[in-house]
Structure 1
Amino acid sequence: MSRKTVPLSVLDLAPISSGADAGTALRNTVDLARHAEEWGYHRYWLAEHHLATGVASSQPALVIGLVAGATRTIRVGSGAVQLGFPTALSVVEQFGTLDAIAPGRVDLGLGRAGQRVARDGGLPVPLPEPRPTRTVDGVVVPPPFAPGKLLGLPGFAARQELLRPPGAQPRDYAEQVDEIRALLAGTFRTPDGHPVQAVPGEGAALQLWVLGSSGGESARVAGARGLPFTANYHVSPGTILETVAAYRAAFVPTAEHPAPRVQVSADVLVAEDEPTARRLAAGYGPWVRAIRTGQGAIPYPTPEEAADLELDDEELALVDDRLATRFVGTPDRVAEGLARLRDLTEADELLITTIAHDHAARLRSYRLLAETWGIGGG
């Protein structure tokens, strides 16, 4: 499959750079979305992150509305709504509203992050089976990261509880996905048989996706329902092969999706030359370290600030899987790496996330990749 037949899409966290604020980050998001549309990217998704000083995408539906209003043709959506916090009805109403203002181009990506925290927070989580870093068909596959290290940090689960009404417990993930589908289709019934209509929402032309970072529940739920699936290589590169395999194994064809549809995410930073790319990438290690030590994403540092945030050996071990699997370099080098990832996973689409301190550098990275991949205009 040639590069041009594999769409590229954008995953945006609305990162806040050091010295800037959330307003600047959100204006940058709208600006990047306009350019992504011009450069031929297929979708523009907003992530959902909470309780972090370095990202402004805590309410993706609101930001998607801003992006939809500033663009005309690019698909817009979530990557992903964390179903551990809202109800199925509130999600359908929010995204039904988005479909009403941008009909036919809204994606609803669903994730399980909040549910996993509610289930596992504060409890022992089995460690993944140890294994060395592998290179499979030119793609780095590191040992899996153990999420229990993060979930078990003091206060982590309590912080997550701030996102729910007191005493509320998240619903079963598969049940919530089914409720969302029923509300959209107009077939939802209460336990005593009464119909419920979500307005806006019922009949909305949303494209449903499930995002997952392992071969567990998310992959199985997506496959069993014949939904398209995003495998998060940029979050959990060590489990990418198991994740994709589990989804394909569970897949049940439907009229809408007769075959599995796989999107794979990747963290990317492109510059005209290798030294520039490496310099711009310097803040990534400290940024990931903050996330994995429970602090949450920090304002993204400048290359100069990153030099003062040098990681020790223990911290490097904590983030090494993410550093080793970020695609950094010249346009040709990064495009070659992404092509290998596509071939290994047989991905139908790649979801690109790029973070840099300087907005202009971030724009340049997406533009250079689009030109080299051959997806559209200039």
Structure 2
Amino acid sequence: MSVLDLAPITEGSNPRQSFKNSVELAQHVEEWGFNRFWLAEHHNMPGIASSATSVIIGHIAGATKEIRVGSGGIMLPNHATLVIAEQFGTLETLYPGRIDLGLGRAPGSDQATAYALRRTLNMQVDDFPAQVEELQGYFEDNPEARVRAVPGTGLDVPLWLLGSSGFSAQLSAHKGLPFSFASHFAPDYMIPALNLYRDNFKSSSVLQKPYAMLGVNIIAADTDEEAEWLATSQQQQFLSIRRGEPSKLKPPIDNIEEVWSAMERASVEKTLNSSSTIIGSPDTIKQKLTSFIAETKADEVIVNSQIFDQKARLHSYEIIADMMK
């Protein structure tokens, strides 16, 4: 079990408080036995503070002792591969044996923001495989290379490929890399992507057999009713994105039906469906999470809990931790 922290900026708050909350969460989940703590690259999103992903990874790693810290993910088309190799080489040098580099091929933003990031105009997401190959080359110890990542060369920084479709599943399989699927927002493609990955996997120096980690939204509370109420914050967040009006994470509301139309409800529920968005009391969470793992045969589950109140968010992860004992 691992943690995906979207570093939420809540309504009435600011990024500074978001980072404080992320540190507090990381320290607690480390104590509770979670395996890794990942942060994601998003841009121009008023409710997500982790745009400078490598910077906040270093901040979290410095505030913890043992838990693995990494990216879920770095959107590689936004960056020069050498810069990412240097950044994560630096992180691995500072926190040896604790850094993961998860890579995605989407821009993590809209087209205008992608342009503002100064992406090369002729760079396409279909160039992603070549970028991954180039990035792997920078971590190899090749003294004859004309351009070397310093720090980075010769370091063991585990690479993961992330995806919400079949593209990265096939690329992960071909390269023999671990694969993480974004089932927390693309549940319909989860099983087909897993099948592609497992059926086509080729062993490598990194992995002898497939290793799949799946994203799951979990909103846990003492009762089903409280959990359903807390979950309205995430529902409002996806609704705002659907409307093209992304916002800070809003507080829970008593009646979500007053906020969305029937069509909007269907759209949000398609994204946050019951297979990979689990809401409820400890007994409900345990039952549904056990079923999810049995169905998918996931090697690891990475949990996103978009909860407005920090104490309630910590309690949600604590409930999950109790199930791991």
TM bucket (normalised to shorter chain) is over 0.9
SS in 2 for 1:174: helix
Equivalent in the alignment of 1:185? 140
Aligned mate of 1:225, from 171, 175, 178: 175
Instruction: Write out per-residue CA displacement over residues 202-237 of structure 1, whole angstroms, 9 at most, x where no aligned residue.
Output: 12221111111112x211111100000011110200
Aligned mate of 1:32, from 25, 41, 44: 25
SS in 1 for 2:213: strand
Equivalent in the alignment of 1:53? 46
Identity %: 37
More deviation, 257-266/316-325: 316-325
- The yes-or-no answer on 1:321 pairing with 2:270 is yes
Instruction: Write out per-residue CA displacement over residues 257-298 of structure 1, whole angstroms, 9 at most, x where no aligned residue.
Output: 1000011110011001111111111122221122233333x2
Contact 1:283 1:306 (8 Å CA) reproduced: no
Which residue type is aligned with residue 83 of structure 1? L
Runs of 4+ residues deviating >3 angstroms = 165-168, 304-309
C-alpha separation in 2, matches of 1:76 and 1:340 = 28
More deviation, 178-187/267-276: 178-187
- The yes-or-no answer on 1:87 pairing with 2:80 is yes
Q: Residues 310 and 182 (structure 1 numbering): CA distance in 2 closer, same or farther, change over 3 Å? A: same
- The yes-or-no answer on 1:175 pairing with 2:126 is no
Q: Residues 304 and 289 (structure 1 numbering): CA distance in 2 closer, same or farther, change over 3 Å? A: closer
Aligned mate of 1:245, from 183, 195, 199: 195
- The yes-or-no answer on 1:344 pairing with 2:295 is yes
C-alpha separation in 2, matches of 1:239 and 1:83 = 22
Matches within 5 A, 1:1-378: 8-114=1-107, 156-165=110-119, 167=121, 169-170=123-124, 172-187=127-142, 195-215=146-166, 217-296=167-246, 298-304=247-253, 307=256, 310-325=259-274, 326-374=277-325
State the number of aligned residues.
Answer: 322
Q: Residues 188 and 170 (structure 1 numbering): CA distance in 2 closer, same or farther, change over 3 Å? A: farther
Q: Please give the TM-score of this superposition, normalised by the length of structure 1.
A: 0.81
Point out which structure has higher relative CO (alpha carbons under 8 A, 6+ apart).
1
Q: Please give the TM-score of this superposition, normalised by the length of structure 2.
A: 0.94
Which residue type is aligned with residue 80 of structure 2? T
C-alpha separation in 2, matches of 1:188 and 1:82 = 28
Which residue type is aligned with residue 353 of structure 1? N
RMSD across aligned positions (CA): 1.9
SS in 2 for 1:104: coil
Q: What displacement does 1:306 show?
A: 7.2
Which residue type is aligned with residue 227 of structure 1? L
Q: Residues 109 and 185 (structure 1 numbering): CA distance in 2 closer, same or farther, change over 3 Å? A: same
Unaligned runs of 5+ in 1: 1-7, 118-155
Instruction: Write out per-residue CA displacement over residues 11-39 of structure 1, whole angstroms, 9 at most, x where no aligned residue.
Output: 01100111111110011001100001000
C-alpha separation in 1, matches of 2:123 and 2:143 = 21
Q: Residues 91 and 166 (structure 1 numbering): CA distance in 2 closer, same or farther, change over 3 Å? A: closer
Instruction: Write out per-residue CA displacement over residues 115-141 of structure 1, whole angstroms, 9 at most, x where no aligned residue.
Output: 9x8xxxxxxxxxxxxxxxxxxxxxxxx
Which residue type is aligned with residue 262 of structure 2? D
C-alpha separation in 2, matches of 1:163 and 1:306 = 39
C-alpha separation in 2, matches of 1:165 and 1:212 = 20
